[in-house]
Structure 1
Amino acid sequence: MPEAIWITFAFGLGLLVRLVGLPPLVGYLAAGFVLSGIAETTGVVIEETDVLERIAHLGVLLLLFTVGLKLKLRSIVSPEVIGGSLLHFGITCAIFTPGLYLLMELSWKTAFLLAIALSFSSTVLAAKVLESKRELRAFHGRVAIGILIMQDLIALVVMSVAAGQTPSQWALIIFGLPLLRPVLFRLLDASGHDELLILLGLLLALVIGGLGFESVGLSSELGALVFGAMLANHPRSQELSKSLWSVKEVFLVGFFLQIGIGGLPDKSALLFAIIAGLVLPLKGILFFFLLLAFRLRARSGFLSSLALANYSEFGLIVASVALPEWLVPLAISVSLSFVFSAPLNRFSHALYERFAHGLSRFEGSKHHPDEQPLSLGDTRVLIMGMGRTGTAAYDWLSEDQPKLMGLDSDPAKVTQHQKEGRNVVFADAEDASFWNGLHMPAIESVILAMGDIEGKLIAARTLRTMGFKGFIVAHTMYQDEARQIQEAGADEAYLTMSETGVALASHLMDRTPAKPSLIVGKSV
């Protein structure tokens, strides 16, 4: 089976580019081009097969399904996300379309569709970069992901229009799909945490969503996205997304191999990719100034823009439907953008610190509500991280300590706590601007209950650097992390599982033993 050899070769090149700090999909695409080159020089026939085409299509469906799982209205319903994404899309198309028409001597339609494909940013690259730095829930991370979701929705609309499919009368059934949500939620609850969870995701994305929508004359891509969105508000939606992430990546290997095997790039394709690479900085600059116009600070605008300064695999998916002859030039453009974007995003914070003085001059006098300096007033105990551990600590302390406040970087979690009557506000401990604007005159103790070690280290170190002399306590799962937290400035770092055992034993000791009704060895 040739596909097995191709995928093995793709793995080798994917691993190679990963070792130099680039996304593996650059290696997958390169593998396709190398195979195509081998075919031309040796005369061996290497062409796309039905199996590879199906693998590629499954990868696209799974990608859209996982996008749907992140499609929560609260993540995109904000001025900076909706306004920033739509304005950037409109301005990019307005500039790129006449530019491509004049420079490349294309038709207006082709130039417009190419401009649309180049307007998108990479969901895969941005999500991976932000996740690796634990910044998905930071303010700039949420803005970037929200804009990417808006772009994905625009891409889906373009694909549906370009495909020109005429739905059947049965397509009206989709308006009743929300009625299935309780059933889907129960299935997700019953699927556990192992292989059944993955199989449920594959069933919904590929069979019910993909084939189901296709059978009534609708786009299979739309079906995968819709069924993902129906589960987006379930508490375990992110667990399902993470479970499918690797499966999706494996299938997407076929998509990029398919592009490369289609043929080697010619001079015009390389010229197009070079021009697209040269104008790439303009994409990031436009995002930066648009986000500043929506009152973001220079830091957040810079970090979000840098995450979005690349071309997207969604542009390739759109091209596969609307402009198949332009797949190779676009694929090289996407790969080149990854080569430049991935290393820059690794050093994004250092880059901002270097240019902060110049960039901050473009800030407006009014800032976004999520970025206003925070005053803790007369709060005496501060809990950073309001997950299960932080919430339990808050509830226990609230009985004796009224001057208590919780902080969390997840806006949805903050809103829920506020509805339940807790004094919790939004803040990101990994954001330097939060610490710069923090005023905490009466704080005596701080509990570090964030989920990740980086946040705890940053918080402990920054508190001590600011001159805080009070008590800092944290929890962690591992002994080596406990040592790191204490070295960063915490007074104590308790092991979560050990403290759980102590708590269980204390419940046993507090229990009043009942008097025995029988005395062993004596008759009653």
Structure 2
Amino acid sequence: MPEAIWISFAFVLGLLMKAVGLPPLVGYLAAGFVLSGIAAATNIAIEATDVLAHIAHLGVLLLLFTVGLKLKLRSIVSPEVIGGSLLHFGITCAVFTPGLHMLMELDWQTAFLLAIALSFSSTVLAAKVLETKRELRAFHGRVAIGILIMQDLIALVVMSIAAGQTPSQWALIVFGLPLLRPLLFRLLDASGHDELLVLLGLLLALVLGGLGFEAVGLSSELGALIFGAMLANHPRSQELAKSLWSVKEMFLVGFFLQIGIGGLPDQGALIFAAVAILVMSLKGALFFFVLLAFRLRARSSFLSALSLTNYSEFGLIVASVALPQWLVPLAITVAASFVVSAPLNRLSHTIYERVGSRLTRFESQRRHPDEQPISLGSTKIMIMGMGRTGTAAYDQLIKDEPLIIGLDSDPAKARTHEREGRNVVFADGEDTSFWQGLYMPAVESVILAMGDIEGKLIAARNLRKKGFTGFIVAHTLYADEAKQIREAGADEAYLTMSETGVALASQVLHRTRSIKPVMS
């Protein structure tokens, strides 16, 4: 049974890649190539069946659907995201296209499509690296993710054009899809949190988006993305994306296996991959200088650029539609870029500490609005992290102390608090340069209410490093983390669940003592 062999090889090699700190999808590609090698050595036919091809297609549709779920206009409508992504895309294509045409003697169309495929960066790798380091909502993380979403949209346009499908007259129905949004929102609300939620995602991505758009002569990939985007503003859109994560990853295994099983790389493919890896540093340098042009600081530009310095699985998806004969060379290129990029990104902050002094000279004198120095003036209490805990603390303290400010690394959340009347500003507490530009002469107490332990440790250390001698308090779920926070400089670190239990008990005691016993 070929499916059992595929699963076994994919799991073993994916596990090996994970053990050495590389994305498992490198192992899935390797599994396909190993199977091709076994077939060539033993003269046993191991081919990608229709089942594997169908699974691979479903994986692509689910990937695009989850991209659509993240497609909020506020995440991409900014000059550095739109301008940076388009400028980088244009320059890359303008340089790579003639280079590939002359050096590899390709026709102009093939050279142009290859340049497009090489211009994309990996959404999967960048998102996982940033999530692991808890930097998805940091300024440089949001810029990188915004650029990746723009690249995904460009890839979708290229795929739709390359597919050459002629829409039918029924395709005009697509313009009426926004009218379905209230119905889709109700369906999402009614689906609960279990298997119905997953089934709703599959229905929208594969049936209505995939088959529905194909039926009217449009790209199924476009349909999956549009149906995802229609739900992007729903409060539970990210819950839906998380519920589909495992299903999507499982189906995408089929996509990478299919590429590897398609054939072993020849000498030309290996040379192409080697040259592309050498050129990859120029791709990262271009991102760095493009972001500097939009007034980002050197640190933010460097960290964003480094997370984008790789080649993309979306390039493979584009090639599967437009350049099927180039799938194997591009697959080797993408896998090799992950091998180089993954360890560099894990050491990104350490690398910047060594080269940062040489990079800051390229900074603009004008700063990006989100990276301006912050002066707290006469503020006495500072709350870092304005989630549920930080907001509750703010609302309680503001009753007695008006000189209070909240800081949060999510600018959209900061704006929401401002509209609700709270004094909250954007600030990334994990950014060392934020602490260098922070002026807090009158602050007496700081509450660390960020969601992750690393942010609290960094904040506590930097507060003491700045010479702050006031009171620092934090909360956490675990006793070992509480110890770390105190060692980093906090005066107190309360266990959230324990304090909740104490508060509940106090309410019960208060209630029972206030009620006089009734004699029967």
Do Structure 1 and Structure 2 share a fold, with TM-score over 0.5? yes
Correspondence for 2:447: 447
Instruction: Find the aligned partners of 1:496 and 1:198 in 2 and give their Cα distance.
Output: 31
Correspondence for 2:132: 132
Q: CA deviation at 1:70?
A: 1.0
Secondary structure of residue in 2 paired with 1:192: coil
> Could you tell me which amino acid in structure 2 is paired with residue 116 of structure 1?
I
Correspondence for 1:188: 188
Correspondence for 2:56: 56
| Superimposed CA distance per residue, residues 419-458 of structure 1 (whole angstroms, 9 cap, x where no aligned partner) | 0000000011111111111111000001111111111111
Matching of residue 11 in structure 1 with residue 22 in structure 2? no
Which deviates more from structure 2 when the two are superposed, residues 12-21 or residues 231-240?
231-240
> Could you tell me which amino acid in structure 2 is paired with residue 120 of structure 1?
F
5 Å-filtered alignment, 1:216-365, equals 216-365=216-365
Secondary structure of residue in 1 paired with 2:117: helix
| Superimposed CA distance per residue, residues 63-93 of structure 1 (whole angstroms, 9 cap, x where no aligned partner) | 1111111111011111100111001000000
Correspondence for 2:106: 106
Which deviates more from structure 2 when the two are superposed, residues 215-224 or residues 317-326?
215-224
Correspondence for 2:476: 476
Secondary structure of residue in 1 paired with 2:400: coil
> Could you tell me which amino acid in structure 2 is paired with residue 371 of structure 1?
E
Instruction: Find the aligned partners of 1:54 and 1:37 in 2 and give their Cα distance.
Output: 23
Instruction: Find the aligned partners of 2:201 and 2:485 in 1 and give their Cα distance.
Output: 38
Instruction: Find the aligned partners of 1:191 and 1:301 in 2 and give their Cα distance.
Output: 41
Q: CA deviation at 1:243?
A: 2.2
Instruction: Find the aligned partners of 2:3 and 2:492 in 1 and give their Cα distance.
Output: 55
Q: CA deviation at 1:514?
A: 4.8
Q: CA deviation at 1:18?
A: 1.1
Q: CA deviation at 1:166?
A: 1.1
> Could you tell me which amino acid in structure 2 is paired with residue 389 of structure 1?
T
Gaps of 5+ in 1: none
5 Å-filtered alignment, 1:373-392, equals 373-392=373-392
Secondary structure of residue in 2 paired with 1:279: helix
Secondary structure of residue in 2 paired with 1:425: strand
Instruction: Find the aligned partners of 1:245 and 1:432 in 2 and give their Cα distance.
Output: 33
Secondary structure of residue in 1 paired with 2:473: strand
Correspondence for 2:422: 422
> Could you tell me which amino acid in structure 2 is paired with residue 373 of structure 1?
P
Instruction: Find the aligned partners of 1:55 and 1:177 in 2 and give their Cα distance.
Output: 27
Secondary structure of residue in 1 paired with 2:374: coil
Secondary structure of residue in 2 paired with 1:473: strand
Instruction: Find the aligned partners of 1:93 and 1:246 in 2 and give their Cα distance.
Output: 34
> Could you tell me which amino acid in structure 2 is paired with residue 86 of structure 1?
L
5 Å-filtered alignment, 1:145-164, equals 145-164=145-164
Which deviates more from structure 2 when the two are superposed, residues 306-315 or residues 246-255?
246-255
| Superimposed CA distance per residue, residues 235-282 of structure 1 (whole angstroms, 9 cap, x where no aligned partner) | 222222222222211111100110111111111111111111111100
Correspondence for 2:200: 200
Q: CA deviation at 1:508?
A: 3.1
Instruction: Find the aligned partners of 1:493 and 1:191 in 2 and give their Cα distance.
Output: 38
Correspondence for 1:492: 492
Q: CA deviation at 1:510?
A: 3.8
Gaps of 5+ in 2: none
Which deviates more from structure 2 when the two are superposed, residues 193-202 or residues 137-146?
193-202
Secondary structure of residue in 2 paired with 1:485: helix
5 Å-filtered alignment, 1:15-94, equals 15-94=15-94
Which deviates more from structure 2 when the two are superposed, residues 482-491 or residues 193-202?
193-202
Matching of residue 141 in structure 1 with residue 141 in structure 2? yes
Which deviates more from structure 2 when the two are superposed, residues 241-250 or residues 42-51?
241-250
Instruction: Find the aligned partners of 1:193 and 1:377 in 2 and give their Cα distance.
Output: 46
Instruction: Find the aligned partners of 2:182 and 2:495 in 1 and give their Cα distance.
Output: 38
Secondary structure of residue in 2 paired with 1:446: strand
Correspondence for 1:461: 461
Which deviates more from structure 2 when the two are superposed, residues 502-511 or residues 116-125?
502-511
Instruction: Find the aligned partners of 1:243 and 1:349 in 2 and give their Cα distance.
Output: 32
| Superimposed CA distance per residue, residues 184-210 of structure 1 (whole angstroms, 9 cap, x where no aligned partner) | 222222333332222222221112211
Instruction: Find the aligned partners of 2:442 and 2:83 in 1 and give their Cα distance.
Output: 40
Secondary structure of residue in 2 paired with 1:46: coil
Secondary structure of residue in 2 paired with 1:407: strand
Q: CA deviation at 1:493?
A: 1.1
Instruction: Find the aligned partners of 1:173 and 1:497 in 2 and give their Cα distance.
Output: 51
Instruction: Find the aligned partners of 2:471 and 2:56 in 1 and give their Cα distance.
Output: 55
Instruction: Find the aligned partners of 1:22 and 1:513 in 2 and give their Cα distance.
Output: 61
Instruction: Find the aligned partners of 1:454 and 1:184 in 2 and give their Cα distance.
Output: 38
| Superimposed CA distance per residue, residues 362-399 of structure 1 (whole angstroms, 9 cap, x where no aligned partner) | 11111101111111111100111101111111011111
Instruction: Find the aligned partners of 1:243 and 1:475 in 2 and give their Cα distance.
Output: 28
Secondary structure of residue in 2 paired with 1:320: helix
Secondary structure of residue in 1 paired with 2:407: strand
Secondary structure of residue in 1 paired with 2:5: helix
Secondary structure of residue in 2 paired with 1:365: coil
Identity of aligned residues (%): 81
Instruction: Find the aligned partners of 2:440 and 2:53 in 1 and give their Cα distance.
Output: 59
Matching of residue 173 in structure 1 with residue 179 in structure 2? no
| Superimposed CA distance per residue, residues 341-368 of structure 1 (whole angstroms, 9 cap, x where no aligned partner) | 0110000000000001111111111110
Correspondence for 1:367: 367
Which deviates more from structure 2 when the two are superposed, residues 495-504 or residues 118-127?
495-504
| Superimposed CA distance per residue, residues 88-120 of structure 1 (whole angstroms, 9 cap, x where no aligned partner) | 000000000000000111100000000000000
Instruction: Find the aligned partners of 2:483 and 2:236 in 1 and give their Cα distance.
Output: 32
Secondary structure of residue in 2 paired with 1:361: helix
Secondary structure of residue in 1 paired with 2:89: helix
Instruction: Find the aligned partners of 1:244 and 1:433 in 2 and give their Cα distance.
Output: 37
Instruction: Find the aligned partners of 2:117 and 2:371 in 1 and give their Cα distance.
Output: 32
Correspondence for 1:211: 211
> Could you tell me which amino acid in structure 1 is paired with residue 128 of structure 2?
K
